[in-house]
Amino acid sequence: MSHVRDVDTAEFNQYVIERSYEVPVVVDFWAEWCQPCRTLGPTLERLTEEADGAFELAKVDVDQNQALAGQMGVQGIPTVVAFKDGQLVDRFTGALPEPQVEKWLAGFVPNPLDEFVAVANGLVNQGREEEAAAMYRKVLEADGQHAGAAVALASLILGDGDTQAALEILEPLPASVEVDRLRAAARLGNPGEMSVEDLEAKVAGDPENESVKVDLAKARIAGHQYEQGLDLLLEVITRKGDLMDDARTAVLDVFEVLGADSPLTIEYRRRLANALF
């Protein structure tokens, strides 16, 4: 079944306005003589068929429906208008490149993968994390850059302590506040199998061992003892030894996890600057 149809003025209310209460409808105002229309039209038609019913495309020939084009404020062609729930929700004029058209469509066309993630999120809220993780993985099999699934799955995996797997899941994603926060949390990670108590004992026995101090700092941070961990990292930075850069990166990762507005971030950012300079 095709999801593309030619629509005239008499059919516009039925096949665009009324139909948009059931599924988003995109309207392509075009003309046979318009070269940009010939470029954009096939792209819209192919994307519509690939969406397989997620939205429909109504094509309106402006030469045959001049009054309708005027009512819709069409001043140049191609003009593309989107309707949802009986309302005009977005529009553009000109032959946009396909990636921009796809981004435009994503603003109002429901994504089945998003709905799948929403169900998985509900499972997490019910404590059914294994089932949710399986659903997130299925989404990522279909779209490895689906941010919602990747962020949710990485969060679950981090909770289990598998920092490397979390980083691998997040690796394809572009930067964002949440992605950067999770990457920072994963980099801080788990310093190893030694407990905080064992690490403290090693530091007490070898106060000059900066590697153990960094591990202890990360262990404290993993236990949300941020101040104690940051203090140790600043101590390593102040010495300006071989692990200075590692400690500095860890401090910046803590800032990412806490957020720029955190009082601890504000205080320790100042202290970091003093330690560095």
**Kind and range of the H or E element at 81?**
strand 79-84
Active-site residue among 26, 37, 58, 182? 37
- Structural domains of the chain, count: 3
Q: CA 163, CA 129: separation in Å to the nearest integer?
A: 17
Claim to verify: residue 95 and residue 173 sit in the same structural domain = no
Q: Encoding tokens for residue 116?
A: 């799948």
Residues 259 and 225 in one domain: yes
Phi, psi of 93 (to 5 degrees): -125, 135
Same domain, 164 and 206: no
- Which residue among 106, 128, 161 closes a domain? 106
- CATH number of the domain that 250 lies in? 1.25.40.10
Task: Say whether 6 sits in a helix, a strand or coil.
Answer: strand
Is 60 marked active-site?
Answer: no
Q: Are both 232 and 181 inside the same structural domain? A: no
For residues 124 and 211, membership in a common domain is answered with: no
- Give the pLDDT of residue 187: 87
Asked which of 140, 169, 188 is the last residue of a domain, the reply is 188
- The whole-number pLDDT of residue 19 equals 95
Position 198 scores a pLDDT of 87
Distance CA 245, CA 205 (A): 24
116 plus 209 within the same structural domain: no
| Cα 252 from Cα 193, distance rounded (Å) | 24
Residue-level pLDDT at 66: 96
Residues 145 and 177 in one domain: yes
Name the H helices within the chain. 12, 35-51, 66-71, 98-106, 112-125, 129-142, 147-159, 163-170, 177-188, 196-205, 210-222, 226-239, 244-258, 263-276
Domain boundary among 106, 128, 146: 106
- Closest by CA to 244, choosing from 231, 235, 253, 257, is 235
What was the pLDDT predicted at 192? 58
Tell me: do 184 and 209 sit in the same domain.
no
29, 62 Cβ separation under 8 angstroms = yes
Q: Sheet holding 79-84: strands in order across?
A: 4-6, 56-61, 25-30, 79-84, 87-93
pLDDT for 38 equals: 95
Stretches in the chain below the pLDDT threshold 70 = 1, 190-193
How far apart are alpha carbons 192 and 260 in whole angstroms? 28
203 and 141 fall within a common domain:
no
Active site residue 136: no
Please check whether residues 48 and 124 belong to one and the same domain. no
**What per-residue confidence (pLDDT) applies to 113?**
87
Domain extent for 221: 196-276
What's the pLDDT at 59? 98
Kindly give the pairing relationship between strand 56-61 and strand 4-6.
parallel
Whether 125 and 159 share a structural domain = yes
Indicate which residue of 27, 34, 81, 221 is catalytic. 34
CATH number at residue 99: 3.40.30.10
